[in-house]
Structure 1
Amino acid sequence: MARLPRLGVAGWPHLLVQQVHDGQLLARDDTDRQALTEALRDAARAHGVAVHAYHLGESALMLVATPEASEGLSLLMQAVGRRYVAGFNRRHGRQGGLWAGRYRGTVLDAARYVLDAMVLVETRESVPHAGAALYGAAWSSAGHHLGLRTDPLVLDPAAFWALGNTPFERQAAWRQRLGEGLSEARSTELSQAMHKGWALMSPEQEAALSQSVGRRLSPRPRGRPRKAVP
């Protein structure tokens, strides 16, 4: 069965993950991580993608991002792959690819899901305590949202600005959200949609977008269609 085209919808936030091959590391040290964040920043600017949240994990790169054009995310990930993987290979004396296939992702209803997707990304790997200093030390956008540093890679979505009228209020609200985390059901919902490529939005939004992107945005119901009753 032919695989569906990846979702890429202009002006809508997306939750993405790019995993590396089994047994490989996304980055071996902070020099690699700095190179990856710089590659992300430059590619995002070049291809019109607003990055709202990111996390550089041991085996995967995760993003919440909104493209200006439908092809923006694909161009972003291609550019990052060419630049970062080539530099990674030169630095560590290796050859071959690093990514485990193409990236996975889903498109999100901003009002219902974008903040939860950001929490998922910024708390992806366990942290011993919910202290701001520990979040800020990680290679993620959490430090930016907690006011510990200004990250030029990050552009906050409208939903984040709505958390408070001042930076202090927004940072305090975000610290609470990170500390609370997500319910298991919400985390599973986001993760499954990301890996399977199904949209998270209302049926009305889905029907309108499905025609514009040229593919279905949710799985077909299982089983045979019901027969019409005479």
Structure 2
Amino acid sequence: MPRMGRIVLPNYPHHVVQRGHNRQVVFAVAEDYQRYLTDLRELKDAWGVKVYAYCLMTNHVHLLLAPGDSAAGLGQLMKVLAARATRYRNRLEGRTGTLWESRYKSSVVQSDSYLLACCRYIELNPVRARMVADAADYPWSSYGARISDRPDDLWLDFDPCFTALGDTAMERRHQYERVMQQATSEEETRLIRDALQRGQLTGTCRFVDEVERIVGQRVEQRGRGRPRSGLGK
């Protein structure tokens, strides 16, 4: 069966996941995580890509990225980011070869209905994996940066849905903490995960129609739906 072509749109958020080759460990110690985030911070500006959310797990990464007017910026960022991590790991271990799976997965996300839900899905990864009981206890996701005002965290881009949660930074943080504490339905989790795995769209039927008009072709999507009220508008 031919592989589905990746859909990348300028100025739209994309949920991206990249896994270690054969699910091998990518991040072993704190320096590994820190180095990847330093590169992400540098490259996002170089390629004009916004970073709305991230979570670095032991053998894979989740990113919520929005390219600017050039959709190619997302692929360029991912290529250089992966290459830097590979060179670092190979040099550290005195080896050669690949670190990542050959192709990252991505899904275009509907902003008004799914953006906050997708941020929450990404930042709750360590909780679902039972690595921590509270997302705030995991140091390698965007959740800590989102609810703090530490200078080192100011590089994270705040998406329009997060900004709309309140008129002040304190209000937005408190509202987002409430969003994170809400029970997540299995339907919401499955919809986001399946859209990513299949390279389909994370959005409603109306969103699919919108993207089809943009790309000029039929876009297949299964399991469409909406997140629970309170996460989207």
Query: TM class, shorter-chain normalised?
Result: 0.7 to 0.9
The alignment status of 1:97 with 2:98, answered yes or no, reads: yes
**1:148 Cα deviation (Å)?**
5.6
**1:13 Cα deviation (Å)?**
0.8
Equivalent residue number for residue 205 of structure 2: 203
Give the superposed CA RMSD.
Answer: 2.0
CA distance in 2, matches of 1:29, 1:214: 45
Equivalent residue number for residue 162 of structure 1: 164
Is there any run of 5+ residues in structure 2 with no aligned partner, and where? 223-233
TM-score between the two structures when normalised by the length of structure 2? 0.86
Equivalent residue number for residue 116 of structure 1: 117
**1:39 Cα deviation (Å)?**
1.3
TM-score between the two structures when normalised by the length of structure 1? 0.87
CA distance in 1, matches of 2:175, 2:157: 18
After superposition, the Cα gap between the structure-2 partners of 1:156 and 1:181, relative to the gap in structure 1 and judged at 3 Å, is: farther
After superposition, the Cα gap between the structure-2 partners of 1:2 and 1:129, relative to the gap in structure 1 and judged at 3 Å, is: closer
**1:181 Cα deviation (Å)?**
4.9
CA distance in 2, matches of 1:181, 1:169: 21
Query: Which of the two has higher C-alpha Rg?
Result: 1
Deviation string, structure 1 residues 105-153 (Cα, Å, up to 9, x no partner) = 1001100000010001111122543374x14xx2111111111634244
State the 4+ residue runs in structure 1 displaced beyond 6 angstroms. none
Equivalent residue number for residue 186 of structure 1: 188
SS of alignment partner, residue 66 of structure 2: strand
1:1-230 counterparts in 2 under 5 A? 1-22=1-22, 24-68=24-68, 69-126=70-127, 128-130=132-134, 132=136, 134-135=137-138, 138-147=139-148, 149-150=150-151, 151-213=153-215, 215-219=217-221
- Aligned residue pairs total 218
Contact persistence 1:130–1:179 (CA under 8 A): no
CA distance in 1, matches of 2:200, 2:135: 34
Contact persistence 1:106–1:199 (CA under 8 A): yes
CA distance in 1, matches of 2:170, 2:200: 36
**1:190 Cα deviation (Å)?**
0.2
Deviates more, 1:196-205 or 1:89-98: 196-205
Contact persistence 1:54–1:61 (CA under 8 A): yes
CA distance in 2, matches of 1:23, 1:83: 18
